[in-house]
Amino acid sequence: MLLKRIGYCLIFFASLIFSGDLTAQSSDSRKIIVSEAMYSQSSNSTNDEFIELYNPSETESVDFTGWRLAGTQSSPLALADTGNGLCVLAPKSYAVVLPANYFSEPHFRLYESLIPAGATVLKAEKSLSLDNSGDRIIFLNAAGDSVLDITYFPDAEKGYSLEKIDLTAGDDRGNFVQSWKLNGSPGAKNSVPSKAFDLSVSAPSTRAVPPDEQAAISCTVTNAGAKPFGAESVVRLFLDKNQNGEAEANEQISEKPLFFNLEPEAFWETVFFHTPSSATERLIFAVANAEDENSANDSAKTALSVGTARNAVIINEILYAPVQNSTDFIQDQPDFVELYNRSSAAVDLRGWSLSDAADEHGEFDTYFFAEDDAQNTILSPGQYAVVSPDKAENLDSSRLALFFPFVKSLSQAKIFYVTNRATFSYNNDGDEVRLKDELGFTIDSLRYDESWHHPFFNSTAGKSLERLNPDMPSTAKSNWSTCTDRLYGATPGKANSIFTAGATSQKESGLAISPNPFSPNADGHDDFTVIGYTLPSAVNRIRVKIFDVRGRLINTLENSLPVASKGEIIWDGSDKNGKRARMGIYIVLLEALSATNAAVKSYKATVVLAMPLN
């Protein structure tokens, strides 16, 4: 009999347990949490206190009918709807409990603009009476069971609520912090992050960097958590060699430590230096800290776009003063800029541009070319490109082809049109010509003026400025002169009429001069001579003078010019007054001061200035 009674008792208690009637923490306790509490408003009015509840369930709603608030009062406060009959909290939603006087007139409803439309709002029958020094919050369900019991602490300043950091974690003091927003976030997602300790790293998704140079590449580490954090973290930079988007140990190229904590929302920007080795590279930044609670934001990726090498493509010829007359029934001469690929690699000119000098307002004209998607914009090594303003639909009808008919048979030349312009705006008395690649990096530039033309020409209208040697500086006046083509006045798309090959010394140090003899009579043949030098020091300053056989100074070509160990200087056969020197033998004297040991070296060579017999 005793065993039978024991059996009945076990069955009875088991039925209570599985029906949920026995437990003081009913199933409601798993459906509701306190996510925020405003216990000390700036107004010092208890009418503006509130408690926010959150339903974390994915599928189940919570019905607050018959619920009461205890712990803050000697007797529990009944909760009711605000007159709309809504006491049910949907899954993944917030409810706000406000005191009765909050809704009374003429009290200003402080949170009316903050509580989202559709949020559940409950009214307590009296003041919530939340203690500013900390208090206990208890919620009782309709059956009188305690379904929620927490204690809060005075960790928020006046006007700021106490918000829960991780809604899925416990109710200990460390999981609540002061809200980041004045008046809190009633009925909405908390203003504080959902993690206490969380560092994030960010970087631009793309970055244009100059070629063959050490580029400064930055990333930003931000404290995305709710508490000060960051000390003893490490930021690492990886080169994603296998392009799999993962930061792998064998791909790390640098790292930097973070020695201090960042306040919430504070950030730290750090810079890495990296020299790209290919046209496109992918970098990965990663921040690591053993206490970081969120790995989803610990890395950022940057794709590097590397610009074209400086002077890979050069400005080779400029016709800025074309002969144009609308009344003479003669085909107008078009203006143009010729480019030349002096590098050993093909270069895509798509998206490139030319520009002129800025005006007094800092504004300048930009001429984009190579924009036709159907056109092959690849410029091969040793190939020319001609850029001309023209609205013609094809080459045969363009002003360039009508005036320079030979361009139609230049299979190795690229022709590009600036279709929104009838003419360039390069000034006849001098201007700047700047060539930029698609990333905006300057590839070549120069500033010309009228004095760059050969002094033997009475008029240079309709004659282009040509470059003597593509391997010599664009900015050197001595590397430019007037085109000697007598028929067209320019040579777009082919070798310049005054092209002069460089001269290189075969000795360890010394001078080499070519052509020698030369004849500066502006006939386009051997009009200039190139003085090549080789010096023993890597960095020097040189002075180059021309003397006649009697030792008289004829001209000073360079004076204290900083140079490397090898280079070239051009002499156009003129004296110090700009007049052509007489026929004869001349002595070239180059003096070099080494920047390494201050030693002075002198080199001499002879050059013959001749004139052809008529």
Distance, CA of 314 to CA of 467 (rounded, Å): 10
Range of the domain at 58: 23-178
Are 177 and 226 in contact by the 8 Å Cβ rule? The answer is yes
Q: pLDDT tens digits for 27-53?
A: 444 579 999 999 999 888 889 999 999
Any idea what DSSP says for residue 335?
A: P
Residue 562 inside a domain? The answer is: yes
* pLDDT higher than 50, residue 520: yes
Q: Which residue has the tokens 């760059």?
A: 452
Q: Do 430 and 441 belong to one domain?
A: yes
Q: Do 46 and 160 belong to one domain?
A: yes
What confidence tier does 411 reach under pLDDT thresholds 50, 70, 90?
confident
pLDDT reported for residue 423: 86
Torsion sign across C-alpha atoms 91, 97, 100, 103: negative
Distance, CA of 498 to CA of 513 (rounded, Å): 17
**219 token code pair:** 């990333």
**370 token code pair:** 């190579």
Distance, CA of 185 to CA of 38 (rounded, Å): 10
| Domain endpoint, select from 261, 291, 306 | 306
Residue 12 inside a domain? The answer is: no
pLDDT reported for residue 24: 33
Domain count, the chain: 4
Q: Do 295 and 339 belong to one domain?
A: no
Q: Do 31 and 97 belong to one domain?
A: yes
Here the CATH number for the domain that contains residue 214 is 2.60.40.10
Q: Which residue has the tokens 């009959």?
A: 85
pLDDT reported for residue 1: 38
Q: Do 73 and 148 belong to one domain?
A: yes
Q: Which residues pair with 567 in a beta bridge?
A: 533
Residue 266 inside a domain? The answer is: yes
Here the CATH number for the domain that contains residue 57 is 2.60.40.1260
Question: E strands, 307-411, where?
Answer: 313-319, 336-341, 347-348, 353-355, 366-368, 378-379, 384-389
Distance, CA of 568 to CA of 566 (rounded, Å): 7
Q: Do 39 and 107 belong to one domain?
A: yes
Any idea what DSSP says for residue 10?
A: H
Write down the mean pLDDT value for the chain.
89
Q: Do 333 and 450 belong to one domain?
A: yes
Radius of gyration of the chain (CA): 41
| Domain endpoint, select from 453, 477, 499 | 499
| Domain endpoint, select from 261, 289, 306 | 306
Distance, CA of 297 to CA of 488 (rounded, Å): 64
Residue 11 inside a domain? The answer is: no
Q: Do 230 and 285 belong to one domain?
A: yes
565-596 burial string, b = 16+ CB within 10 Å, else e?
eebbbbbbbbeeeeebbeeeebbbbbbbbbee
Distance, CA of 92 to CA of 72 (rounded, Å): 26
Q: Do 449 and 516 belong to one domain?
A: no
pLDDT reported for residue 26: 39
Q: pLDDT tens digits for 45-85?
A: 889 999 999 999 999 999 999 999 998 677 899 999 987 77
**Dihedral pair phi/psi, residue 568, rounded to 5°:** -145, 145
* pLDDT higher than 70, residue 90: yes
* pLDDT higher than 50, residue 475: yes
Instruction: List, as own/partner pairs, every contact residues 595-600 make where C-beta atoms lie below 8 angstroms and the sequence separation is at least 24, other chains included.
Output: 595/537, 595/538, 595/539, 595/540, 595/541, 596/537, 596/538, 596/539, 597/537, 599/537
Residue 193 inside a domain? The answer is: no
* pLDDT higher than 60, residue 185: yes
Residue 16 inside a domain? The answer is: no
Distance, CA of 138 to CA of 156 (rounded, Å): 20
Q: Do 551 and 590 belong to one domain?
A: yes
Of 191-200, 323-332, 558-567, which range is least confident?
A: 323-332
**Residue 464, Cβ density class (10 Å: 0-12 exposed, 13-18 middle, ≥19 buried):** buried
What confidence tier does 5 reach under pLDDT thresholds 50, 70, 90?
very low
Here the CATH number for the domain that contains residue 587 is 2.60.40.4070
Q: Do 288 and 255 belong to one domain?
A: yes
Residue 486 inside a domain? The answer is: yes
Residue 272 inside a domain? The answer is: yes
Size of the chain in residues: 614
Distance, CA of 161 to CA of 496 (rounded, Å): 78
Q: Do 119 and 166 belong to one domain?
A: yes
Distance, CA of 178 to CA of 433 (rounded, Å): 60
pTM for the complete prediction? 0.65
Of 243-252, 324-333, 554-563, which range is least confident?
A: 324-333
Question: E strands, 451-563, where?
Answer: 465-467, 480-482, 510-514, 529-534, 540-548, 553-563
